[in-house]
């Protein structure tokens, strides 16, 4: 099997570290791994398959110098804006975890379980965008239901873990929790606009002129692009004091009547989705179940009290894996399949 020269831009970050772990776990066909980050990380090393590899600075020339063929970007939108075109021009396929390219028309936005056929459009720009973490787990659940029952409207509320804000987000929660338990005053809210320990914050990313946050608009617009759909959808995104794995309460209205049993049946056969919905035995999805796994868990599936065409459910996934690194690696695996077909 052909092996590739693979770069990770943002190798010292939360998503970058997870990407390296997943590439190793999956025995991804790598000839050479090139970890990249900012100047700050240049003396650091990453571990990959019992080897230590030095992190290099991300520059415009590095992709050509190293002969990079696949470049995973997870270093923030401004880094992708500046360096992803250089990687693509050097002949690499860029798989970008940031929001920078997601809504650009000629750039495919891909969740392999939903729209892997869109990967073929990568040739236009050399770039494939990885969706927002909350969007990925939601469309994995919505897509099989839409195909079967035709969705008319979705309302989602998220409960997003602090690691969604990177390593600094996790550090902020841990530090503030200790401070509160030691009766110390919290002077610095870290990655968040307010204290996150023993609190929750209905504000992720910046506010837009229509009173939505950018995170909420990402969920709305990205879902329509990935699913090629135009059903109504609204989102409320909330940061909660959970270290890892995002949860979502989703209400879905369909074209016709559906039962919780019918929904459970479809989701039981959905790719990379696992139904945990056994209330007799008090079993349902939670962040502690999803963390460090590659599945999206769904439960609490029930009919609406008033409308027979409406279902409510709860879904949870590890947003650093399913919502970022695993999805990016799945895109790369599909891209290789297409290349070799
Ligand atoms: N965390 C999540 O759950 C999640 C999920 C989906 C998507 N994402 C997206 O993935 C991206 C990274 O998120 P993260 O959570 O991994 O953040 P993070 O933990 O803060 O890591 C950021 C990474 O970017 C690198 N970086 C920063 N400035 C750079 C520059 N000028 N040039 C090159 N590298 C630079 C950092 O390197 P240094 O260590 O050298 O500063 C670090 O490796 C973001 O765009 C985020 O929106 C995150």
Residues 120-135: tens digit of each pLDDT:
999 999 999 999 999 9
Measured in angstroms, how far is the CA atom of residue 13 from the centroid of ligand 1? 5
Query: What's residue 1's pLDDT?
Result: 82
Q: Domains plus CATH for the chain?
A: 4-131+324-340 (3.40.50.720), 134-319 (3.30.360.10)
The pLDDT, as a whole number, for residue 91 is 97
Mean pLDDT of 227-251: 98
Ligand 1 atom nearest to 320, measured from its CA = 3
Q: What's the rounded mean pLDDT across residues 90-108?
A: 97
The answer to whether the CB of 137 is under 6 A from ligand 1 is no
Q: What integer best gives the mean pLDDT of the chain? A: 97
pLDDT in tens, 302-318: 999 999 999 999 999 99
Mean pLDDT, residues 234-262 taken together? 98
What is the pLDDT confidence band of residue 118, given thresholds at 50, 70 and 90? very high
Place of tokens 């869109």: 118
Q: Which residue has the tokens 């796994």?
A: 293
Cα separation, 16 vs 70, whole angstroms: 14
Candidates 38, 59, 101, 321: which one to mutate for ligand 1, based on the most atoms within 8 Å of Cβ? Answer: 38
Could you tell me the distance, in angstroms and rounded to a whole number, from the CA of residue 45 to the centre of ligand 1? 16
Question: Phi and psi at residue 32, in whole multiples of 5°?
Answer: -155, 135
Q: Is the CB of 144 under 6 A from ligand 1?
A: no
- Beta-strand relationship, 4-9 and 70-73: parallel
Q: Which residue from 219, 217, 178 is spatially nearest to 196, judged by alpha carbons?
A: 178
Q: Which residue has the tokens 């020269």?
A: 5
Question: What does the pLDDT look like over 148-175, one tens digit per residue?
Answer: 999 999 999 999 999 999 999 999 999 9
Say whether 56 sits in a helix, a strand or coil. strand
Whole-number Cα distances in Å, 23 to 3, 17, 148: 12, 10, 34
The reported pLDDT for the residue numbered 185 is: 95
Q: Is the CB of 317 under 6 A from ligand 1?
A: no
Question: Where does the pLDDT of residue 252 fall: very low under 50, low under 70, confident under 90, or very high at 90 and above?
Answer: very high
pTM beyond cutoff 0.75: yes
Query: Ligand 1 pocket: which of 14, 58, 133 to mutate (most atoms <8 Å of CB)?
Result: 14
Span 226-242, mean pLDDT? 97
Q: 98: CA distance to ligand 1 center in Å?
A: 9
* Reported confidence tier of residue 43, pLDDT bands at 50, 70, 90: confident
What's the confidence (pLDDT) of residue 182?
97
Span 274-308, pLDDT tens digits? 999 999 999 999 999 999 999 999 999 999 999 99
Q: For residues 129 and 110, is the Cβ–Cβ distance under 8 A?
A: yes
* Residues designated catalytic: 133, 246
pLDDT in tens, 204-230: 999 999 999 999 999 999 999 999 999
Q: Which ligand 1 atom is the nearest neighbour of the CA of 40?
A: 40
- Model confidence at 95, pLDDT cuts 50, 70, 90, reads very high
Task: Compute the distance between CA of residue 328 and CA of residue 111 in angstroms, rounded to an integer.
Answer: 9
To test the pocket of ligand 1, the residue of 74, 86, 96, 317 to mutate (highest count of ligand atoms within 8 Å of its CB) is 74
């Amino acid at each position: 099997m052909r092996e590739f020269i693979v770069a990770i831009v943002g190798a010292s970050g939360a998503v970058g570290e997870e990407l390296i772990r997943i590439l190793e776990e999956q025995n991804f066909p790598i000839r050479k791994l090139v970890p990249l980050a900012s100047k700050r990380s240049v003396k650091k090393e990453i571990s990959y398959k019992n080897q230590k590899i030095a992190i290099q600075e991300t520059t415009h020339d590095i992709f050509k110098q190293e002969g990079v063929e696949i470049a995973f970007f997870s270093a923030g939108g401004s880094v992708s804006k500046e360096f992803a075109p250089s990687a693509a021009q050097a002949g690499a396929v860029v798989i970008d975890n940031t929001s920078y390219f997601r809504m650009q028309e000629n750039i495919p936005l891909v969740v392999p379980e939903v729209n892997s056929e869109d990967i073929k459009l990568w040739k236009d720009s050399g770039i494939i965008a990885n969706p927002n973490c909350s969007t990925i787990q939601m469309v994995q659940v919505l897509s099989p239901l839409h195909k079967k029952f035709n969705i008319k409207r979705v309302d989602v509320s998220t409960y997003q873990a602090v690691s969604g804000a990177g390593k600094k987000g996790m550090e902020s929660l841990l530090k503030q929790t200790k401070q509160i338990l030691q009766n110390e005053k919290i002077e610095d809210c870290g990655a968040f606009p307010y204290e996150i320990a023993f609190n929750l914050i209905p504000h992720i990313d910046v506010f837009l002129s229509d009173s939505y946050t950018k995170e909420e608009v990402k969920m709305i617009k990205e879902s329509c692009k990935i699913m090629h759909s135009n059903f109504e959808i609204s989102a409320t995104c909330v940061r909660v004091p959970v270290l890892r794995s995002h949860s979502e309460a989703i209400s879905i209205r369909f074209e016709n009547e559906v039962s919780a049993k019918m929904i459970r049946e479809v989701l039981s056969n959905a790719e990379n989705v696992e139904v945990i919905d056994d209330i007799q035995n008090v079993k349902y999805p939670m962040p502690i179940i999803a963390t460090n796994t590659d599945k999206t868990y769904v439960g609490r599936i029930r009919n609406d009290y008033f409308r027979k065409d409406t279902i409510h459910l709860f879904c949870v996934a590890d947003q650093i894996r399913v919502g970022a690194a695993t999805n990016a690696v799945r895109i790369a695996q599909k891209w290789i399949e297409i290349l070799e077909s």
